[in-house]
Chains A and B, each alone.
Chain A
């Protein structure tokens, strides 16, 4: 039931065919090369297709992302188009007003691109390196844990509980991110741990 011939390949074939046959039929055989040189190929023919699912609601509609560049080939890739996946049993190619505009979420002007810090009392963010930001976080975690970890309760029962640091996990990260997050948070003894399901 899956499409064997990739859309990309199909579109390339179709695009080339139209150009060749129509020109040939009108008797401009000699002009073909010159004509093809400036006929713009169908945009999506040069993109990479990737199967994904919509990150918004829990219907999880199938989508096809068209990228400029092939990530799997080690290239930089940028999303140029997103559409519904007609092979997907739930949405069968349809999308809602949110899903149909997904590309603009991926490429939003307010996407974060660099780590930033807001110092106490400051009126703006300033850039900070990943190294510095991560070292700062690790130092703060270690110091707070060492100072506030509750090892035993009044009855001497080991409780190994840390309540002065809390962690809110997301609602749209993958299971795999969730599991790694779980490992890190739980191994430290953090109990103030929740995800968006709570609300």
Chain B
């Protein structure tokens, strides 16, 4: 989230598209209710299903799964056509005025530079014209035919209300009504917020869905303001934290990158990360990358990381492919190329697409290690549970270790909520039986491996032998010690760079925040964006002052919000070019003639004059990007792409399947279905009574929603002869599930051009372990393909078939 849960009360209009907050984030959704009750805010829901969020909305429109980009680009087109644009914001705070190379273009659903063999673009034309002064050329009047604004206008001109009706199945009058409601928020004193979740991410073009809304919010001037923003409602309690800390194939904590083979040495790695400003006077904060990187290397390897050995650069692995993400790893596993696999609180047998392939892959491992508080399906993948897990146990040679770990009630530490708040919590109970903390388990594994290398030698032991491990109890590092490492510490006295006589932090003390990180080895700090969380003031994540001055929703002294306790990102954009709030009644920051004052920590230097420095300090341009240059693999603007399994062909290019640059493994491509074979669109979702596959271990939740079902329309039920509460068989090209039919008016067939598209909904909470009845999940059916940029699997749009099955009906 750019903003926070409590800030939602400041909004005028909530758009829930790509999510279902009332059901999946109930207590956060209460802030929507608060905005409706006290501000007269309105709520719009756009979703294939009439969800519980829709049931309390002011306006609802259906949309065919996987067609969101058409809706969003048409919305931008309508705003431009109807002059519903926050012009001062667009001109000054976005890259609308920047001039793009003449070579860039789009036709037949593809941008310039497409190579069908490589399934990749040559992105060199997707960039700015750089002037002789070294800066990007601009036309502040937005009239140049090659400026981003002109190109955007041209790009979205194809997306009309008629196209929305044809492709999305959204009735034109509903689209237009929503357009009018959204258009009102282009006024500087009106604000809209976007609340989205996995309904947008789990597509082969998920990142472009989100970009579409981000662009819309920029055009309305809604980023950086109270009650506005792009608010990703993360699915789990600490997915935000685990991503921040870089537990992904290609990441280093704080959104730094693991090197690739194209960066054979430190100098090459750093030279591609110089982040020179593209407009005069801009901050381009990533210029500090070397400080964050060196401090990270010192946190990892301490004295073994020196200037002479390039901070132990070769201790880091170098990638030969963009990522070894989960899809690639299970592809490799299925090919017999993975021997050991660890699942720490993760249940891939139910979480990853194409369950048959996941089972086959796990069966080829030598050793699977599962650490979890609960009995997971993954740990029991080899166990035969009849139709719910019909495997040949004796033939599966994988050895499985199931290790009992503690849960939230039994450990201390911080979780990061969607609003970037690092909230410390305290342990209240003893772990059951022999269950142990994950920190103990990880330490034991590490210390044993290290001992083996000390005793036996082996291949490249250096990064293991030299890993910093100076904990009071090496067998179980404490949460306090680990949190302090993430904040960072002075290894030598740290002086002010502007005044070398001024000591900022003495050797051995905790750094104040990341402004004190250095690139000369004098500081260590594992996760720069968290710095400030535990400085010499103590554990700021444990702060519990719930005062909220002037009731802005900021709660500035409640726990710690990264970065620098900032509550709303890009907050300088809440004020105009003179530094006056766009909406005085919702002041966030204000320029008092000498400095920025207000309710939040400014994201530009506190004394940077309003006209001089742009609000988007992380970007080289100093402004936000409507046109993303070559930073995304599938285009500088979002363009409509159908799901890999779609009931209709792409209107721009009927030959194009799915996302033309998404990675597809050969065996998976063979398992993509056509709409001739499988005519029904399907989507997956959550219920409010359950959390993933955890709460089915809990009798109360198991009783609230005891049994797997699929949701189908009355029309489809009539067509197929399916009884309310009767059994159905649902199958895709990859597998099948048996379910009770929930026949409902909440789903309606959608008319897309001359085709009537049926959509069915498949909830995801059942498996074969725990207290609930055994059942199935959508991953038995879904395709093994991910988003082109981040490889998130396409769970939200795929094709199936359905028929009545035998079994006793219930009502």
Contact = CB atoms under 8 A, between A and B. Distances in A.
A141 interface: yes
B435 A90 contact: no
Contacts of A98: 688-691, 695, 701
A1 B546 CA distance: 6
B341 A165 contact: yes
Interface string B364-407: 00110100111100000011000000000111111111111101
A175 B320 contact: no
Contact of B346 (A52, A90, A168, A187): A168
Contact of B408 (A52, A59, A109, A196): A52
A93 B345 CA distance: 27
Contacts of A109: 697, 771
Interface stretch (B39-47, B121-129, B138-146, B444-452): B444-452
Given A79-B429, A87-B544, A113-B432, A171 B238 contact: yes
A67 B24 CA distance: 28
B706 interface: no
Contacts of A175: 238, 241, 244-245, 413-416, 422, 482-483, 486, 530
Interface string A80-118: 001000011111001111111110111011111111111
Interface in B616-643: none
Interface in B240-272: 240-249, 253, 258, 261, 264
A51 B426 contact: yes
Contacts of A19: none
A162 B317 CA distance: 8
A176 B479 contact: yes
A165 B538 CA distance: 38
Contact of A112 (B253, B369, B375): B375
> Which interface residue of B249, B344, B463 has the most chain A CB atoms within 10 A?
B344
Contacts of B723: none
Nearest to A138: B448
Interface stretch (B26-34, B601-609, B667-675): B26-34
Interface stretch (A23-31, A32-40, A153-161): A153-161
B286 interface: no
B345 A173 contact: yes
B463 A56 contact: no
B253 A77 contact: no
Interface residues of A, number: 123
A117 B370 CA distance: 10
A16 interface: no
Determine which residue in A89, A140, A177 has the highest number of CB atoms from chain B within 10 A of its CB, and name it: A177
A22 interface: no
B398 to A, nearest CB: 7
Contacts of A104: 698-701
Interface stretch (B155-163, B453-461, B751-759): B453-461
A188 B315 CA distance: 9
Nearest to B369: A137
A179 B403 CA distance: 20
Contacts of B243: 195, 197
Contacts of B690: 98
A91 B264 CA distance: 49
A57 B441 CA distance: 25
Interface string A121-139: 1110100101001111111
A184 B445 contact: yes
A89 B6 contact: yes
A170 B248 CA distance: 11
B467 A145 contact: no
A196 to B, nearest CB: 6
A172 B403 CA distance: 17
Given A110-B769, A145-B458, A174-B413, A53 B408 contact: yes
B445 A138 contact: yes
Interface centre among B342, B343, B558 (most CB of A within 10 A): B342
Given A159-B317, A194-B326, A195-B247, A105 B793 contact: no
Interface in B686-729: 688-691, 694-695, 697-701, 704
Contacts of B498: none
A57 B317 CA distance: 33
A42 interface: no
Interface in B331-370: 332-333, 337-346, 348, 351-352, 366-367, 369
Contacts of A184: 442, 445-446, 467
Contact of B433 (A71, A114, A133): A114
A61 B394 CA distance: 45
A104 B326 CA distance: 31
B430 interface: yes
A162 B253 CA distance: 20
29 contacts: A55-B415, A58-B236, A60-B237, A104-B698, A105-B694, A112-B405, A114-B433, A116-B401, A117-B399, A120-B396, A120-B397, A123-B393, A142-B456, A144-B339, A149-B459, A159-B261, A163-B338, A165-B341, A166-B340, A169-B345, A171-B345, A173-B438, A178-B238, A178-B247, A182-B526, A187-B446, A195-B247, A196-B235, A197-B239
Given A57-B24, A57-B235, 13 more contacts: A108-B697, A112-B432, A137-B369, A149-B459, A161-B318, A165-B342, A169-B242, A169-B346, A172-B237, A175-B482, A177-B411, A192-B332, A193-B248
Interface of A: 1-2, 48, 50-62, 65-67, 69, 71, 76-79, 82, 87-91, 94-102, 104-106, 108-123, 125, 128, 130, 133-142, 144-146, 148-149, 151, 153, 155, 157-199
